[in-house]
Structure 1
Amino acid sequence: MKEYPTISLDRFDRENLHARAYFLSHCHKDHMKGLKGPLLKRKLQFSRTVRLYCSFVTKELLLSNPKYAFWEEYIVPLELESPTQILLVDEASGEKEDIVVTLLPAGHCPGSVMFLFEGSQGNVLYTGDFRLAVGDASRIEHLHSGSRVKDIQSVYLDSTFYDPRFYQIPTREVCLNGISVLIGNWISQSPYHVVWLNCKAAYGYEYLFTNLGEEFNTQIHVNHLAMFKNMPEILSYVTTDRRMQIHACRHPKDEEFFQGNRLPCGCTAPDGTPLRIISIKPSTMWFGERTKKTNVIIKTGASSFRACFSFHSSYSELKDFLSYLRPVNIYPSVIPLGRTLTEVTQMLKLMCRTSLISSAIYKPLGVLKRSRVQRPH
């Protein structure tokens, strides 16, 4: 970040190796580059002050993978919505800088947070990946000072869908409802009617699993449980028992399609009756790029469906968020498909404070009337 260049967020290699503190917004691979690198490992062994800050859930997910076990003694998990003072120390010169960081829920996946930094260079918000509905920003206490919005110098924005093509993405509730109806209609026909949820990420769909598990009083079959071992609210809805009607298991090689209408786990009915399987692929891009407004569920083959489901804010949600905060600067962290950095930067400039002020419609209070001066004859 321009304002606080001695800290690193969601990137852990190259020049970021010189950081005085690390922050991880969530545990998706594209935000963890360099996190298990040998150079970083060495740096930690020789440093007394450098730490990784994240949420408690992110810490659990990270340490459930043995490759990241060496981080255990260097992670400082922080409570949500609890401002914490951090001392940034340059170990060579002894120079110190104080900064206050607050973790705010990002609504992207379990453990995902936004980071609000407050220090000598102003207030800066890093969103990580996030999905907030219209109006959500006004309910986040720590973005406010009393009743007014804090003065935000810069927002580093998840701009995945900052493009009018993705103007409106249905809410998670609407998408969940569409998926629930499709699954309910299918699995209620017989015990041999089975659903495969073709979810691409290792985790992030837990919102879907917990809600479906609740609604149908069942568990969802997945490949691994280790990452949820300390998260009972998720663990109770997932299982490695293959005899379930709803599956979210993966092919060993992450193959896209099941061959011959078979589940990735190869499960069959105990009595040999052929299973009737439908696949549902949660997608966002695919829906956003369709020119006609469509339902949240689209049939794409004899037994395959696409379901609209987004982890990222839509264009209209992003515009609402930015016009509420009115930051001085906005920096995109993602370039939407088919756009260039210049285009996105220009589009975001229009949402910056100076631009919003100048584009406000100016209404004069009245017309200034010239008083008639009486000239002497």
Structure 2
Amino acid sequence: MSRKAHSFLHEYPRIRVDRFTESRERVPDFLLPPRCRAGAAKRQDEDEDDDEPGPWDDLDQDDESTLKANGGVRFFPAPTIQLLSHIHADHIEGLSAPLRSSAPIYCSAATKEMLMRLESQKSREKGACRVPMGEGARKRPYEWLRVTAKHAKAKKKFTGLAPAPRDLLHALPFNTPTELRYSPGVNIRITLLDANHMSGSTMFLIEGHRGAVLHMGDCRAETWWIEA
């Protein structure tokens, strides 16, 4: 995935896939009706289609003062649903540091387990060289995503700090439609489909009020897999 990609789904702009940075992302003009595009003057002869409901209606509507402060540019709001297809480095950007966003992150069970166990390169090198290393010395940059009550108690004992138990990664089963909250009063269905890319990798089938979207991510379309 290109680092320049905003990674929000065009049809469901409150969903973000495989990118977890907290920088503000501009809404592309083609997602907006002509009357809402940056620098566009309102026309007297606007097409009737301009007022048809579209994906832009799923976004928070900026008031005039906010738009003026932003130079007329509209930005994506914080996502309500985040999706993680697999754990290759270019798909987990931003996940190694605590996020301000509280939106749940959905993935497969295998992806969740591997991400929790993923160690830094230095930790792996020490392990390969059989350097004595206690469990506390292991550097697992994604551990912050899940803090059990047991871990919170141990941290309080050794540091005096007691983090609240949390689990931001939500594992979903394959081939099972799951209903999720997209926005107030609006639910969508998400189904995980095997991407045949690496262990735990998944495509996401999203179904809802904007139609059906298949986000393929990275997949390996071998003949046997296509015909299965």
TM bin (shorter chain): 0.5 to 0.7
Distance 1:96 1:75 in 2: 23
1:101 paired with 2:227, answer no
The 3 A distance-change label for structure 1 pair 138 and 117 is farther
Match of 2:101 in 1: 43
Could you list the runs of 4 or more consecutive aligned residues of structure 1 that deviate by over 4 angstroms after TM superposition? Answer: none
**CA displacement at 1:137 relative to structure 2:** 3.5
Q: In 1, are the aligned partners of 2:84 and 2:92 still within 8 Å (CA)?
A: yes
Local SS of the residue matching 1:136: helix
Distance 1:121 1:110 in 2: 30
Match of 1:62 in 2: 115
1:120 paired with 2:181, answer no
The 3 A distance-change label for structure 1 pair 137 and 120 is farther
**CA displacement at 1:15 relative to structure 2:** 3.6
The 3 A distance-change label for structure 1 pair 58 and 99 is same
Match of 2:169 in 1: 75
**CA displacement at 1:34 relative to structure 2:** 1.2
Local SS of the residue matching 2:223: coil
**CA displacement at 1:35 relative to structure 2:** 1.5
Local SS of the residue matching 1:100: strand
Give the counterpart letter for 1:111 in structure 2. G
Match of 2:225 in 1: 136
Local SS of the residue matching 2:219: coil
**CA displacement at 1:138 relative to structure 2:** 4.7
Which structure 2 segments of 5+ residues have no match?
Answer: 1-8, 26-76, 119-139, 147-166
Q: In 1, are the aligned partners of 2:97 and 2:141 still within 8 Å (CA)?
A: no
**CA displacement at 1:99 relative to structure 2:** 0.9
Report which structure shows greater RCO (CA 8 Å, sep ≥6): 2
Give the counterpart letter for 2:179 in structure 1. Q
Q: In 1, are the aligned partners of 2:196 and 2:225 still within 8 Å (CA)?
A: no
Match of 1:3 among 3, 11, 17: 11
Distance 2:185 2:89 in 1: 31
**CA displacement at 1:136 relative to structure 2:** 3.3
Q: 1:116-265 to 2 correspondence within 5 Å?
A: 116-134=205-223, 136-139=225-228
**CA displacement at 1:70 relative to structure 2:** 1.7
Q: Spell out, residue by residue over 1:267-318, the C-alpha distance to the aligned partner (whole angstroms, 9 max, x if none).
A: xxxxxxxxxxxxxxxxxxxxxxxxxxxxxxxxxxxxxxxxxxxxxxxxxxxx
Give the counterpart letter for 1:23 in structure 2. L
- TM-score normalised according to structure 2 size: 0.52
The number of residues matched between the two structures is 127
Match of 2:178 among 84, 109, 117: 84
Q: 1:343-354 to 2 correspondence within 5 Å?
A: none
Q: Spell out, residue by residue over 1:202-255, the C-alpha distance to the aligned partner (whole angstroms, 9 max, x if none).
A: xxxxxxxxxxxxxxxxxxxxxxxxxxxxxxxxxxxxxxxxxxxxxxxxxxxxxx
Local SS of the residue matching 2:142: helix
Distance 1:61 1:96 in 2: 34
**CA displacement at 1:88 relative to structure 2:** 1.9
Local SS of the residue matching 1:37: coil
Q: Spell out, residue by residue over 1:12-54, the C-alpha distance to the aligned partner (whole angstroms, 9 max, x if none).
A: 112477111110000000011112234x2x333xxxxx21100
Distance 2:97 2:144 in 1: 11
Match of 1:33 among 70, 89, 93: 93
Distance 1:31 1:96 in 2: 30
Match of 1:18 among 66, 78, 82: 78
**CA displacement at 1:96 relative to structure 2:** 3.5
Q: 1:194-343 to 2 correspondence within 5 Å?
A: none
**CA displacement at 1:69 relative to structure 2:** 1.2
Match of 1:53 in 2: 106
Match of 2:73 in 1: none
Local SS of the residue matching 1:33: coil
